[in-house]
Amino acid sequence: MTRSITRRWLPVLAVIGIVLGLAACSSATLDGPGPALRITQSDLDQALRCITPSAAAPATPSGRNPVLLIHGTGITASESWDGNYASTLPALGYATCTVQLPNRALDDIQLAAEYVVAAVRQLRRDHGRRVNLLTHSQGALEARWALKYWPDIAGAVDDFVSMAGSNHGTPTADVICLQTIAACTPAIQQQRPNANLLAALNANESVPAGVSYTSLYSLTDEIVTTLPPNYSPAVNGATNLLIQSLCPARLVTHLQFLTSGAVYYAVLDAFEHDGPADPARIDTATACLSLSAPGVQLNDYLAANGTSYLAALLSVATGRGAEEPPLQAYAAPR
């Protein structure tokens, strides 16, 4: 009798098992592999702000990848991107989103990277396309951390463009932290050239297969320097493009990356072609004659480079001193 009942229920149990298995697969696809995110869904949702292209934006037969803008140390997403790429890219037909890193990107970069992970997954689901990442300064670290430690993010990203990325740290962080002043916040500790976070990030440095890496840098960047031994912006395996190789006389400071016309045309070249930016394709006559990116008015240009710099200085100066956060277990040396 018991054997008969068991035999009768076997098909039902099999169906239930299949349904549960599919649900588990669906959940894994949604959450993705890699470390579990510790940030609440509510905070992740609030950090993401998206701007859709206007009806007047040009359309292409294949469409355009959505773009995620990731800001740097001491400023907000709005201060960093409003008035430049958050308006110019949607006008070109790119769905464009900003992600607000916590506490003006002064907290633990490992936690801030989780906001990037969640944002990339959301854009991938919403648009059904791979995502382009445009980062400035510290934003390159959050993006690279996400690409390195969450395997599904590399498969969801097409282009990664770093503007003045502090990929190997900055002497400015050393100056701040060696003075033991209150401004030495977790993220600034993590951008010291000898930081544990940078050692983990750059260990066995390589770029994920399938992602096109472009790193843009300037000889006149006063924050992320290009002097030996700390050739910070360079990423092994990326196209490392010096702005002065396009426009020899161009002055591009750290914050001017956000509005520079020469930088803008290099960014677009990466986004609009397969692979990383190629200086041979860039119209240097147009790029070098453009003080600011098209659509960025002079007052916006001055505001972005003035108020953002002041906001960054104030936020860093009033930050609370801290030691470098310990590496998370998934990143700690084994």
pLDDT of residue 117: 98
Average pLDDT, the chain: 85
**Tens digits of per-residue pLDDT, 66-90?**
999 999 999 999 999 998 999 999 9
CA distances from 174 to 178, 185, 309 (A): 6, 12, 19
pLDDT of residue 4: 46
Q: In the predicted model, is pLDDT for residue 17 greater than 60?
A: no
**Alpha-carbon torsion (101, 231, 236, 249), positive or negative:** positive
Domain ranges (residues) in the chain:
42-55+62-317
pLDDT of residue 1: 46
**Tens digits of per-residue pLDDT, 127-140?**
999 999 999 999 99
Tokens representing 185 are 């916040």
What mean pLDDT is predicted for residues 46-60? 78
Domain 42-55+62-317 belongs to what architecture? 3-Layer(aba) Sandwich (3.40)
**Tens digits of per-residue pLDDT, 269-326?**
999 999 999 999 999 999 999 888 888 876 666 666 677 777 777 788 777 777 899 9
Q: Taking each helix axis from N to C terminus, what angle separates 109-127 and 139-149, rounded to the nearest 10 degrees?
A: 70
Lowest mean pLDDT among 42-46, 153-157, 314-318, 325-329: 314-318
pLDDT of residue 150: 96
